[in-house]
């Protein structure tokens, strides 16, 4: 459990600045067991960069391969030259739990580099993840250095939900340990009403360079209440530069709306 000790008010603290200058491209919620789409709003078929939501897939790869051991091993040191646009929080030793919590991009790159390009591609193809193209940008085509961020890999909200259904149902070709550890490090909070939330934010943009004025914001994951599990994806896009990341705002707005989104289904 990563943030369970954090009050729900903290999780939703960003709502005051929510998505006033962002449009919601898609919200989709599905029942994990029946695969029935319960909510589908907006354009949910177009593919965009998955950005840091792909860390769920990288986690499965890393734990299955044995490079990642558990929530707190290995601890990898920050080194000069690593990407550090996340600020001071990215310039510290990082373990798998911290990697997901602070969305540390260089840690992802260490996992994918350890896999190597061929095995990285094999996993992504086996997961049937979006367009499954982790070749990266030409001319280098070095996908292990970030094919998932404004690069070759693309996925739609509906494809996110399809992938997450296979994660929840444990229908991907990885070990039970990989599923267990990924479930553990992606836990966020429990909402009023008993929905236990696992998920990952992501922030990217169109094109190969980051366009902060038109950022995409993702929040994808699963919500469990008793025997019932829902999988979900929300994608927003900014219309101007915002102080907070688009992914965080997508998460906060979705968590606020989730009880109302699913309440008609429960009746």
User: Which of the residues are catalytic?
Assistant: 52
Question: Do the beta carbons of residue 39 and residue 27 sit within 8 Å?
Answer: yes
| Count of all residues that appear for the chain in the document | 267
Segment (H or E) for 179: helix 176-185
CA dihedral 141, 237, 47, 262 (to 10 degrees): 130
139-146 LR contacts (CB < 8 Å, sep 24+): 142/117, 143/112, 143/117, 144/109, 144/112, 144/113, 144/115, 144/116, 144/117, 144/120, 145/109, 145/112, 145/113, 146/105, 146/108, 146/109
Q: Take residue 82 and report the two structure tokens written for it.
A: 């690593």
CA separation for the pair 144, 153 (Å, rounded):
11
Instruction: Give the Cα-Cα-Cα angle 170, 174, 175 (nearest 5 degrees).
Output: 85
SS3 assignment, position 197: strand
Question: Beta-carbon neighbour count of residue 234 at 10 Å?
Answer: 31
Query: How far apart are alpha carbons 161 and 68 in whole angstroms?
Result: 25
Both tokens of residue 26? Answer: 């898609």
């Amino acid at each position: 459990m990563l943030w369970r000790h954090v009050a729900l008010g903290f999780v939703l603290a960003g709502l005051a600045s929510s998505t006033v200058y962002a449009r919601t491209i898609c919200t989709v919620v599905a029942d994990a067991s029946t695969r029935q789409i319960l909510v589908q709003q907006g354009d949910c078929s177009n593919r965009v960069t998955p950005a840091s939501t792909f860390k769920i897939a990288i986690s499965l790869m890393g734990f299955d391969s044995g490079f990642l051991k558990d929530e707190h091993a290995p601890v990898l040191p920050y080194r000069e030259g690593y990407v550090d646009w996340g600020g001071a929080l990215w310039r510290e030793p990082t373990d798998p739990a911290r990697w997901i919590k602070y969305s540390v991009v260089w840690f992802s790159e260490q996992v994918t580099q350890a896999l190597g390009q061929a095995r990285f591609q094999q996993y992504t193809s086996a997961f049937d993840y979006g367009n499954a193209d982790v070749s990266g940008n030409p001319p280098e085509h070095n996908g292990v250095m970030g094919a998932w961020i404004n690069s070759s890999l693309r996925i739609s909200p509906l494809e996110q939900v399809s992938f997450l259904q296979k994660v929840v149902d444990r229908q991907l070709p990885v070990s039970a340990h990989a599923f267990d550890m990924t479930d553990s490090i992606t836990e966020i909070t429990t909402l009023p009403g008993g929905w236990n939330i696992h998920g990952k934010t992501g922030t990217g943009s169109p094109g190969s360079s980051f366009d902060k004025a038109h950022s995409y914001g993702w929040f994808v994951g699963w919500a469990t209440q008793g025997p019932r599990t829902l999988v979900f994806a929300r994608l927003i896009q900014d219309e101007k530069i915002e102080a907070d990341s688009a992914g965080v705002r997508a998460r906060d707005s979705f968590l606020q709306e989730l009880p109302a989104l699913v309440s008609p289904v429960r009746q």
